[in-house]
Amino acid sequence: MTDSNPSFLGRISLAVGTFFSILGDGEFAANVMRLRKGASAGATAPAPTPAPAPAPQPAPTLKEATADAALQLLGLLQRDARFIDFVEEDIKNYSDADIGAAARLVHDGCRTTLREHFTIRPVRDEAEGARVTLAEGFDASAIRLTGNVVGKAPFSGSISHRGWRVDEVRLPKLADSHNAKVIAPAEVEL
C-alpha cells in the first residue's frame, strides 16, 4: 500500500477525519472544494472583495447662536412680566402669600409674552401617562428616553412629559443701533 493508493480501511479513516476537518476548518473546506473542481490543493481562490465600508457620517456643523434673540426675549419678559426683577429679588423675607401673589403676576405676564411672540405646541399629542411605541429612527432631538434604556428601537414606554416645540417665532425686528444687551433700561425719576 502506498500514500497514493490507501486501503479501504485507510480511506474510511481519511473520510471520517476529512469530514470533521471540513466542519471545523473553513480554509481546509475551501481547499477540498477546489480539489473537487480540479484545481490543485495549494492554489488559492481569489480573495473576496471586501464590502465597502459605510461612509462616515460627517460631524454636525455647529453654528454659533446669536445672543440678540435671547436677549430680546429676556427684555420682553422683563417688560411684560417683570421676570428679571422677580428672579433677582431676595424673597426669603417675604411671606408665602406675598410670593404667591407676585408669582401669579409674573406667570400671567410671561404667558402673555410667550403667546404673543411664539406659537408653541406639544411634541407629542398623546396625554401624559399614555403608552407609546417608538420605532427605529425616531427623532432623538424631539424625544428623550429616560429610565432603563437598554437595546435598540423599537422602544415601548409611557409619556412622562409631552415636550414643547416652537412652530412660529414673531419677535419684533431690531434696529441696528439697538443694544440688545440692555434688557431693561435703568429708570431715573425726575
Residue 175 domain-assigned (yes or no): no
Residues 77 and 158 grouped into a single domain: yes
Range with top average pLDDT, 7-11, 35-39, 109-113: 109-113
Give the mean model confidence (pLDDT) for residues 57-75. 85
The pLDDT tens digits of the residues spanning 109-125 come to: 999 999 999 999 999 99
**13 grid coordinates:** 479513516
| pLDDT at res. 127 | 95
- Residue 69: CB atoms within 10 A of its CB come to 13
Domain residue limits at 88: 67-169
Residue 59 domain-assigned (yes or no): no
Residue 53 domain-assigned (yes or no): no
Query: Could you tell me the pLDDT band of residue 60, with boundaries at 50, 70 and 90?
Result: confident
Residues 21 and 102 grouped into a single domain: no
Q: Is the pLDDT of residue 12 over 80?
A: no
Residue 39 domain-assigned (yes or no): yes
Question: 36 or 137: whose pLDDT is higher?
Answer: 137
Residues 115 and 26 grouped into a single domain: no
Residues 17 and 85 grouped into a single domain: no
Q: How far apart are CA 105 and CA 99, in angstroms?
A: 10
Residue 166: phi, psi to the nearest 5?
-100, 120
H, E, C per residue of the chain? CECCECCHHHHHHHHHHHHHHHHHCHHHHHHHHHHHCCCCCCCCCCCCCCCCCCCCCCCCCCCCCCHHHHHHHHHHHHHHHCHHHHHHCCCCCCCHHHHHHHHHHHHHHHHHHHHHHEEEEECCCCCCCCEEEECCCCCCCCCCCCCCCCCCCCEEEECCCCCEEEEEECCCCCCCCCCCCCCCCCCCCC
Residues 38 and 87 grouped into a single domain: no
The one-letter code for the residue type at 164 is: W
Question: 174 or 2: whose pLDDT is higher?
Answer: 174
The one-letter code for the residue type at 124 is: R
Q: Is the pLDDT of residue 6 over 90?
A: no
Residue 78 domain-assigned (yes or no): yes
Residue 177 domain-assigned (yes or no): no
Angle at 90 between CA 88 and CA 91, to 5 degrees: 115
